[in-house]
Chain A
Amino acid sequence: MKYALLIDVNRCSICFACEVACKDEFVGNAYPPYSATQPDVEQEWIKLQEFEKGKYPYVKVYPIPLLCMHCENPPCIKACPVPGAIYKTEDSVVIIDPKKCDTGECSTKPCVKGCPWGVIFFNEESNISQKCTLCIHRLKEGQEPACFDACPSGVFLFGEESEILKEVKKRGARPMNPEYEAGPRVYYIGLPSVTLAGHIIGEQSLMDIPDAKVAITEKKSGSAVSCKSDISGNFVFENLKAGATYSVDVQCRGYKPKTIGNVKLDIEYKHLGDLKLAKATKK
């Protein structure tokens, strides 16, 4: 069985229960042969980081839990000079063996530097490198990893790889930094990307135009995408081209269409504010 993990950033309540639960699981508690104890303060085997994009009053917060990606081709294993010190278990969990990890060989801490996500930490006191073990000691007992168990918001979906991949496909999740070609096993929904958003409102009310069709066309290439506004009249386009210029067309039955030309994506989260539609005049 291989594990994989899906993280839905849009559901995260920024409560940090995951990060503190990880501390509680590992500080002062060793789980041989998988992990030595985590230091009290240093090291975040899971770290929740808040990224803020946009300009007042249109701001978007991305709370992103970052943990070991338990890669298919782990760069840390490649970087490690001690044979067998970092290995993949049969469940494809990447483990740094606290006994074999030998710093005599590693004054330059190659695994710490080798991990492009920076999720391996060097323990100055015990002279070993440490990181998330996916709570393999809990998995063996049939329990979820401590951080997932602590989440009140259903951010983490965890299970057999083929099952998770189905969800990944269905919900358009993607791994972080596929360009590293490490084969990360953690997939994300809602990672930051160049975004264009807006609220569509009618003349009457604040959130009264759901299902308006919004189409955006990139000026240069002419490529177009469209979506429908949600129940509150919000629309969002993600994964756009930074710096590109778009025209935005809004159509809704009973209202005059609206076009906004030359929207330049000069910031990562561009929000058009309230786009007010006028009622169509009856002919």
Chain B
Amino acid sequence: MSVTKNDYSKAVSVLSDVFGSFHSGDNLMKSITPKEIKEIQKEKKIYTSTFGGGVVSTVKNGRVIKTDPLPIPEDVRQYEIKARGKVFTPPRKCLPDMWGHGYRRWIYDPARVRYPLKRVGWEPGGKGKYDNRGLSEFVRISWDEAIDHVTGELKRVKETYGSAAITYMDTFHTTWGTIHGMGTEYTIIPRFLNILGGFTEYTIGTSSWVGWVSGASFMYGFWWANATSEGHDTLADSLQNSRMVVYWAIDPTKSTRMYHGHEMEPWRHWVREAGIKTVMISPEVNDTAVVHADRWIPIFPGYDAAMAAAIMYVWITEGTYDKEYVKTHTVGFEELKDYIVGKEDGIPKTPEWAEKICDVKADTITGLAREWAAGPTTLYCQLSGACRGWYGHEWTRMMVALQTLQGLGKPGVNMVSWGWASGGAPFDKSIRMPGYTTGIKPVETKLYPNPVPQKMHALDVSDCILRPPVKWRGGSTGATYWGEEFFYNYEYPMPGYSEVKMIMRLGGGQILSYSNVNWRVSGYLTPKIETIVIDALFMEPCTWYADIVLPACSDFERNDISMLGCGGLYIPYSGSANHQIALYHKKSIEPMGQSKSDMDIYYSFARKMGIYEQLSEGNTEEDWIKKLFYASSICKYVTYEEFKEKGYYVFPFPEKYEPTPALRWFYEEADGLCTPSGKIELYSQVLADFYGEKNPEIAPVPKFIEPKDGRRSDFAKKYPLTIFVTHPKFRFHTMQENVTWLRKLHKMKGPDGHEYEPAWISGEDAVARGIKQGDIVQIFNDKGKLLAGAHVTERIKPGVVRMFYGANWLPDDRTKPGSLDRGGSANVLTSNEPVSVHAHLHRIEHIMVEVRKWEGQN
């Protein structure tokens, strides 16, 4: 069949529609047939997941025209929870959030990177000029040139300096995917570099789970889940057995949306409907508090451990803790008790003592302690913000200690983070599906370990680059931890290994999600780093500093296989979602411009370097999907062809279901935790052996430790306000910051027309500084300064300022770190000094600042 002129002009109109304002791919016009045109014009429904939950996207004329919640077919059996005379069942649909509903606007944003780009002045071989890195002066190059440059540099750097001179920096969460997205990040890219001869690992060190991994896990294990205890069947347990839910320093309604959207929001409504009391302990009336809390207890952020100690004081002195449980299930209660009652240091940790520290009334602390002891209580705290400040591990250990004293694992006495690592809803535990962190691991046949032992830590990457040698202890070597890791010593560079000369990067946002942006940027502004390569969707801060920019496509532009909300490594199931949904993540649209999937990009490098067969084992995208399909439970339910055709499959909830509530086994057996004793270690011999009894930053028992430069220190005379930097509501880390539909919901337009990132400030603090609602304010400390829009509110504790991190960083001069940031990126204010001597991890909360009305001058 030949293409008539008429068909051709139709094709032109269809394709211009497909690509919108973008130029179409180089050869597309030549290959299209009338049959294909018809196919493009048809309206299709494609079932996918986004980082904002499960959606069905409607595709017409080759464009996504909208995304709706993914529906659950009427004939699929759902779970039911019977509790207190009520029956709770989830809605028959997924519950995507504003990120999921705004996805279309994001992927079609005109700011997408469309072509491979080269920085003006960059030359292969480290011969170019470097003083304009960051100024974002790029020229378009072809894919062939880009591949030549990257592979040429990889080869040269390896031959000149050795493999250790190459590092690979992952992103801060990517678009969704198992073989793509984070799957590529965790598996394909490291595999590629390892086949080449290895690389210096850039260890991310956690920035979200900080205090949990470094604290709670020494008490009760759960290393593999980043120290959030198992969560299965806790939802039913709480609804049926808990008398109260305490939300501590957590805002799950706002923050717990990653990869599933609002799947858990109904659960918190059910808590209320079941007649369970709720309390929020937080510096702000956060969204969860607005809709779900009976009482708000305002607290100074970073001082929560003092309140927890005082609650234990009440229980111990009034005898209202579970004495039998403590005897049989724990070690070290006497030592903890000695600290709490003051036998150890002469200071009884009374509610009056705590009041002076955390500014919660002693009466309230006593009242809450008694209320807590009066019946089974769910403690909703895991992964929350209080773990990311000074000595965040002390607060997490206190949280475990609190529930331990009330019999952790008993019906209704549990710890949850519903929706993060641990889930909570009933689910079929026999289902096995890969998640984003497993990537292709289940089906690759040959493994390539990294022969280079040298590492760099994300916390002090700029120190490594600019001021080597750097030594540190602990941190992390990956996405999960184990106890010994905290005691390993590292140095950079290692004897016999080169410093890093070339950086391979994925994604463009990480720089703003980690501490001390200004120092972090300094590490890019040096000729010591000869080449920086990045795969990116958008021109974002990390992209600006690259030498070669490669256009990556989004998850709507490639095929994949996944399970809704399933992280694989630390979210081994979809317990955080209401339904277990396997998705053949069908490509909705063609890649924008000349963009490609990250896997395709690394495949191109591999072809050029002659290692394609090793990297791919002969697998195309489709082959990996098929192999993962047959390695998963889904193949027992539907054929591959059916799965691919329909696009998704919802596993029916089992007819006969035996709940196994989290930690009930431990309650019954009093043994088997992943600690040296198998019990909950209120006193940690491991920590005692390493740090001794008297280390001021970490003790064998959890303690309140005064923050080093907190509000009660001399530092506060200069910077009296505590800034409380939380996970963002209107973007996913830094992603979707450019979505106009979301920006309009929260950005504050200044008199100059610029959209400022809002900062919450209390009425009292605003009045004291002559600040009114909508004023532009400067927030500053020794680390940096930014401009924000003042949102004056009674919802926040006086003395505290709140911002979301991840706003686009817009410094006056990108080559001069420390210049005024008009974007309001809160991490310009944070320090890369670690959490403590024990936890070499990011400390991005509870920083002291001052705020003043901005009059247009520094």
Least CB separation from B368: chain A residue: A206
A35 to B374, CA, bound (A): 58
On chain B, the residues within 8 Å of A149 by CB distance are 68-69, 93
Least CB separation from B99: chain A residue: A20
Question: CB within 8 Å of A: which of B796-846?
Answer: 796-798
* Chain A CB within 8 A of B269 CB: yes
Given known contacts A231-B277, A232-B294, is B261 in contact with A152 (CB within 8 Å)? yes
* Chain A CB within 8 A of B67 CB: yes
A63 to B66, CA, bound (A): 26
Q: Which of B98, B296, B298, B797 has the most CB of A within 10 A?
A: B98
A274 to B733, CA, bound (A): 39
A128 to B592, CA, bound (A): 33
Q: Are A21 and B101 in contact (CB under 8 A)?
A: yes
* Chain A CB within 8 A of B253 CB: yes
User: A49-57, A111-119, A174-182: which one contacts chain B?
Assistant: A49-57
* Chain A CB within 8 A of B291 CB: yes
On chain B, the residues within 8 Å of A85 by CB distance are none
On chain B, the residues within 8 Å of A14 by CB distance are 253, 287, 290-291
* Chain B CB within 8 A of A185 CB: no
Given known contacts A20-B741, A24-B102, A56-B798, is B265 in contact with A153 (CB within 8 Å)? yes
A72 to B742, CA, bound (A): 33
Q: Are B68 and A59 in contact (CB under 8 A)?
A: no
On chain B, the residues within 8 Å of A63 by CB distance are 290
A208 to chain B, nearest CB (A): 7
Q: Are B370 and A204 in contact (CB under 8 A)?
A: yes
Contact with A along B242-277 (1 / 0, CB 8 A): 001000000001100000011101100100000101
B521 to chain A, nearest CB (A): 31
Least CB separation from A44: chain B residue: B744
Q: Are A57 and B745 in contact (CB under 8 A)?
A: no
Q: Are B291 and A12 in contact (CB under 8 A)?
A: yes
A117 to B797, CA, bound (A): 34
CB-contact partner of A11 in B262, B291, B742, under 8 A: B291
Given known contacts A56-B794, A149-B68, is B269 in contact with A11 (CB within 8 Å)? yes
On chain B, the residues within 8 Å of A207 by CB distance are 244, 277, 279, 294-295, 367, 371
A105 to B416, CA, bound (A): 61
On chain B, the residues within 8 Å of A19 by CB distance are 98, 741, 745
Contact with B along A230-259 (1 / 0, CB 8 A): 111010000000000000000000000000
Given known contacts A29-B65, A40-B740, A52-B794, is B98 in contact with A15 (CB within 8 Å)? yes
Residues of B within 8 Å of A, CB-based: how many?
58
Q: Which of A17, A21, A27, A59 has the most CB of B within 10 A?
A: A17
Q: Are B98 and A206 in contact (CB under 8 A)?
A: no
Least CB separation from B55: chain A residue: A24
Q: Are A56 and B374 in contact (CB under 8 A)?
A: no
Given known contacts A13-B253, A13-B291, A63-B290, is B277 in contact with A232 (CB within 8 Å)? yes
Given known contacts A15-B98, A55-B794, A207-B277, is B741 in contact with A23 (CB within 8 Å)? yes
* Chain B CB within 8 A of A223 CB: no
A200 to chain B, nearest CB (A): 12
* Chain B CB within 8 A of A32 CB: no
A181 to chain B, nearest CB (A): 33
Least CB separation from A23: chain B residue: B741
B737 to chain A, nearest CB (A): 15
* Chain B CB within 8 A of A16 CB: yes
A206 to B377, CA, bound (A): 14
Q: Are A17 and B262 in contact (CB under 8 A)?
A: yes
Q: Are A20 and B275 in contact (CB under 8 A)?
A: no
Question: CB within 8 Å of A: which of B36-82?
Answer: 65-69
A199 to B796, CA, bound (A): 20
Least CB separation from B277: chain A residue: A232
A139 to chain B, nearest CB (A): 15
Q: Are B95 and A152 in contact (CB under 8 A)?
A: yes
* Chain A CB within 8 A of B615 CB: no
* Chain B CB within 8 A of A225 CB: no
* Chain A CB within 8 A of B764 CB: yes
Q: Are B69 and A29 in contact (CB under 8 A)?
A: no
A118 to chain B, nearest CB (A): 16
Q: Are B762 and A56 in contact (CB under 8 A)?
A: yes
Q: Are B371 and A205 in contact (CB under 8 A)?
A: yes
* Chain B CB within 8 A of A201 CB: yes
Q: Are B266 and A41 in contact (CB under 8 A)?
A: no
Q: Are A205 and B374 in contact (CB under 8 A)?
A: yes
A10 to B290, CA, bound (A): 9
On chain A, the residues within 8 Å of B101 by CB distance are 17, 20-21, 23-24, 150
Q: Are B794 and A59 in contact (CB under 8 A)?
A: yes
* Chain B CB within 8 A of A146 CB: yes
Residues of A within 8 Å of B, CB-based: how many?
45
A55 to B741, CA, bound (A): 31
Question: CB within 8 Å of A: which of B266-307?
Answer: 266, 269, 275, 277-279, 285, 287, 290-291, 294-296, 298
* Chain B CB within 8 A of A28 CB: yes
A216 to B254, CA, bound (A): 36
CB-contact partner of A234 in B253, B294, B798, under 8 A: B294
CB-contact partner of B370 in A12, A23, A199, A206, under 8 A: A206
Q: Are B742 and A20 in contact (CB under 8 A)?
A: yes
Least CB separation from A153: chain B residue: B265
Q: Are B295 and A199 in contact (CB under 8 A)?
A: yes
Q: Are A24 and B262 in contact (CB under 8 A)?
A: no
On chain B, the residues within 8 Å of A10 by CB distance are 291
On chain A, the residues within 8 Å of B269 by CB distance are 11, 153-154
On chain B, the residues within 8 Å of A154 by CB distance are 266, 269
Given known contacts A56-B762, A206-B368, A207-B371, is B105 in contact with A27 (CB within 8 Å)? yes
Given known contacts A24-B101, A205-B374, is B294 in contact with A17 (CB within 8 Å)? no
A206 to B371, CA, bound (A): 6
* Chain A CB within 8 A of B793 CB: yes
* Chain B CB within 8 A of A61 CB: yes
On chain B, the residues within 8 Å of A15 by CB distance are 97-98, 253-254, 262, 265, 287
On chain A, the residues within 8 Å of B376 by CB distance are none
Q: Are B102 and A20 in contact (CB under 8 A)?
A: yes
Q: Are A206 and B364 in contact (CB under 8 A)?
A: yes
CB-contact partner of A61 in B98, B244, B795, under 8 A: B795
Contact with B along A191-212 (1 / 0, CB 8 A): 0000000010100111110000
* Chain A CB within 8 A of B385 CB: no
Question: CB within 8 Å of A: which of B506-552?
Answer: none
Question: CB within 8 Å of A: which of B715-734?
Answer: 730
CB-contact partner of A150 in B96, B266, B287, B291, under 8 A: B96
Q: Are A13 and B262 in contact (CB under 8 A)?
A: yes
* Chain B CB within 8 A of A25 CB: yes
Q: Are A16 and B105 in contact (CB under 8 A)?
A: no
A58 to chain B, nearest CB (A): 8
A149 to B653, CA, bound (A): 23
B73 to chain A, nearest CB (A): 15
Least CB separation from A202: chain B residue: B367
A55 to B764, CA, bound (A): 10
Q: Are A54 and B265 in contact (CB under 8 A)?
A: no
A146 to B69, CA, bound (A): 9
Least CB separation from B374: chain A residue: A205
A203 to chain B, nearest CB (A): 9
Q: Are B371 and A52 in contact (CB under 8 A)?
A: no
Given known contacts A40-B740, A153-B291, is B98 in contact with A17 (CB within 8 Å)? yes
Known contacts A13-B287, A24-B105, A57-B296; 7 additional CB pairs below 8 A are A13-B262, A24-B101, A24-B104, A63-B290, A152-B91, A208-B371, A231-B275
Give the A-binding residues of B (Cβ under 8 A): 65-69, 91, 93, 95-98, 101-102, 104-105, 244, 253-254, 261-263, 265-266, 269, 275, 277-279, 285, 287, 290-291, 294-296, 298, 363-364, 367-368, 370-371, 374, 730, 740-742, 744-745, 762-764, 793-798
Name 13 interchain pairs, CB-CB below 8 A, sorted by A: A16-B98, A17-B101, A24-B102, A27-B105, A41-B741, A56-B797, A59-B296, A59-B794, A61-B285, A150-B69, A153-B262, A204-B367, A208-B374
A-B CB proximity, top 6 nearest:
A206-B367, A152-B262, A232-B294, A152-B95, A205-B370, A20-B101
